[in-house]
Amino acid sequence: MNSQDYIALDEKYGAHNYHPLPVVISKARGCKVWDPEGREYFDFLSAYSAVNQGHLHPHIVAAAKAQLDTVTLTSRAFHNDRMGPFLKKLCEYTGFEKALPMNTGAEAVETALKAARRWGAEVKGVPNGRQKIICALGNFHGRTIAVISMSNDPDSYINYGPYVPGFVKVPYGDAAAIEQAIDDDTVAVILEPIQGEAGVVVPPEGYLARVREICSSNNVLMILDEIQTGFCRTGKRFAWQYENARPDIMCLGKALGGGIMPISAIVADHSVMDVFTPGTHGSTFGGNPLAGAVGMAAIEVLEQERLEENAYRLGIRFRERIAALHAPRVRLVRGKGLLNAIVFDEGYEAYPVCVALKEKGVLAKQTHGNIIRFAPPLVITEAELDEAVARISEVLLSL
């Protein structure tokens, strides 16, 4: 079978809930992928930042393979010998006291929302049923019913009602709007430190630090969704570190699974995490030994290869090179570390640009029509980045 055949099968048997580029990936390694015809591409999406460590990182693959010969799933009815060491590592890496493992990012967000509501009722003293959580316009936190109830993107929420109540939406990047929205029933504020799906929207400097102050002085939890920005993507371990705006709850996912399997978690200190007691939350697969082994190896790679430093340095190089092109149609390039976006003129359709990039051997995906996100695996070398930028430049200058 060739690429066309595989695409036809997806079209015929799969739900049409995505609009992928017409490319089939059948092999991958590091920051490169190949199609069934043997054509080579740079992966500049990294599965939405789930493969920060690069495809098939040998350390993570070895950990997975070894674990496949011992034990993979126990459920939380019993202890296993992989979860504890993994959670210890995760707490040490993030600087929090406790972790609660789940599987997908949306589940981590749900877990954070539940923790905040319960904390509101049991610690802050808000009557159950009145808890309010403030979220930001333009957010993307996942696809469950509660999570899309926070969304103002019609594609995400339309015709999925009734929606979950208790969310208050305020403009992103405006700390005063959060302060004004807080009342006695407010238990938490949830934000992405950089809005990834919205098109790599970087908030004004000082925003996260100010939100941190507002939350502290109003006895409101600050939840940061670092599912896409976390684990070195933005040039720091976590994006909040740019402003030392340590949240009360941090949502993690994507790269925590090392590109191998879905692994997510929330991390928090005792004062918040202790609201969960036996039977009040859980997941059959959360904390399974295979995830423990893979998650541990995924963090070890980030740590040992100091990927935040590579992301920081090459991110600056990427933005400088693209900006220096002064390409027609390109309004600006923005981002932090290796989470970047090229923003085209208003109304300019970026999908054909992605198809042209694919023809030149660079895979990237547009978001919101006129924006393309560029987020290669963080193991990319300077020479590889330069090669990819040369190909991107060719396309941009031909528009």
Pick the piece of the chain touching ligand PLP (CB under 6 A) from 171-179, 205-213, 223-231, 320-328: 223-231
Interacting positions 108-127 with ligand PLP (CB under 6 A): 109
Q: How far apart are CA 115 and CA 128, in angstroms?
A: 13
Q: Of all helices (H) and strands (E), which one includes residue 396?
A: helix 382-397
Backbone torsions φ then ψ of 333, nearest 5 degrees: -120, 135
Q: Examine residue 248 and tell whether it contacts ligand PLP (CB under 6 A).
A: no
196 makes contact with ligand PLP (CB under 6 A) = yes
Q: Does 141 bind ligand PLP (CB under 6 A)?
A: yes
Number of shown-chain residues binding ligand PLP (CB under 6 A): 15
Q: How far is the CB of 38 from ligand PLP (least distance, A)?
A: 30
- Give the list of residues 6+ apart from residue 36 with CB closer than 8 angstroms, or none: 1, 2, 3, 6, 24, 26
Among 28, 99, 106, 255, binds ligand PLP (CB under 6 A): 106
Q: Is 285 in the site for ligand PLP (CB under 6 A)?
A: no
Counting Cα atoms < 13 Å in the Cβ hemisphere of 230 gives 27
Q: Pick between residue 30 and residue 196 the one whose CB is nearest to ligand PLP.
A: 196
Specify burial of residue 155 (Cβ count, 10 A radius: 0-12, 13-18, 19+). Answer: exposed
Nearer to ligand PLP (CB atom), residue 192 or residue 300: 192
- Contact with ligand PLP (CB under 6 A): which of 48, 167, 172, 242? 48
Contacting range for ligand PLP; rule: CB under 6 A; set: 139-147, 154-162, 269-277, 354-362: 139-147
Residue 230 in contact with ligand PLP, rule: CB under 6 A: no
CB-based contact 153:135 (threshold 8 Å): no
Contact with ligand PLP (CB under 6 A): which of 30, 54, 105, 138? 105
| DSSP H or E stretch at residue 318 | helix 307-325
- Is there a catalytic annotation at residue 169? no
Active site residue 140: yes
**CB-based burial, 176-210: b 16+ in 10 Å, e otherwise:** ebbbeebeebbbbbbbbbbbbbbbbbbbeeebbeb
Dist CA 299 CA 295 (whole Å) = 6
104 binds ligand PLP (CB under 6 A): yes
Tokens of 57: 């990182």
Closest CB 99 distance from ligand PLP, rounded Å:
17
C-alpha distances out from residue 207 to 92, 193, 203, 314, Å: 26, 9, 6, 25
Site membership for ligand PLP, residue 46 (CB under 6 A): no
Binding letters toward ligand PLP, positions 314-333, x by CB under 6 A: --------------------
Is 227 or 299 the residue whose CB approaches ligand PLP more closely?
227
Active-site entry in 254, 336, 358, 365: 254
Measured from the CB atom, is 219 or 283 closer to ligand PLP?
Answer: 283
Instruction: Name the minimum Å distance from CB 190 to ligand PLP.
Output: 10
Q: Residue 363: beta bridge partners?
A: 43
Residue number with CB closer to ligand PLP (241 or 393): 241
The least CB distance from residue 82 to ligand PLP, in Å, is: 21
Q: Does 225 bind ligand PLP (CB under 6 A)?
A: yes
The two three-digit tokens of residue 233, written as one number: 């993507």
Q: Are 255 and 231 in contact (CB under 8 A)?
A: yes
Q: How far is CA 398 from CA 243, 325, 329, 394, 395, in A?
A: 39, 11, 10, 6, 5
- Cα separation, 265 vs 225, in Å, equals 11
Residue 227 touches ligand PLP, criterion: CB under 6 A: yes
Q: Decide whether 327 or 337 has the Cβ nearer to ligand PLP.
A: 337
Chain residues binding ligand PLP by CB under 6 A are 48, 104-106, 109, 140-142, 192, 196-197, 225, 227-228, 253
Which residues are identified as catalytic?
A: 140, 225, 254
